[in-house]
Structure 1
Amino acid sequence: MVFFNKVGKVALGSRLRLMTAIITDDAAKVYELYEADFMPKWFPVFYTLTEEREITITEIANEIGHSQPSVSKIVQEMITAGLVNDNLKTTDKRRNIVALTEKGLILSKKIKLQCIDVEAAVESLISESNHNLWAALEEWEFLLEQKSLFKRVNEQKKMRESQDVQIIEYTPEYQEAFKALNEEWISTYFEMEEADYKALDNPKEYILDKGGKILVALYKNEPVGVCALIKMNDENYDFEMAKMAVSPKAQGKSIGWLLGEAIVKNAKELGASKLYLESNTILKPAINLYHKLGFEKVSGLATPYKRCNIQMELIIK
Structure 2
Amino acid sequence: MYLASLGKLALGSRLKALSDHFYGAADEVYRTLGAPIESRWLPVLRYLWDAGPSTVTDVANAIGQTHSAVSQLTDKLVRAGMVRRRRDPADGRRTVLALTDKARGALSTLGPIWCAVRRGVNASLDEHAAHLLDAIAACERALQDRPVAEAILAEHAAIKAAPLQIVPYAPALRGDFYRLNAQWLERHFQLEEIDRAVLSEPERHILQPGGAIFFARLGDEVIGTCALLQESPGIFELTKMGVDETFRGLGAGRRLLDACIAEFHRRDGRMLFLESNSRLQTALRMYQKAGFVMQPSVRPGSHYERADVYMIYQPQT
TM-score category of the 2 structures, normalised to the smaller one: 0.3 to 0.5
Q: TM-score, normalised by structure 2?
A: 0.47
Q: TM-score, normalised by structure 1?
A: 0.47
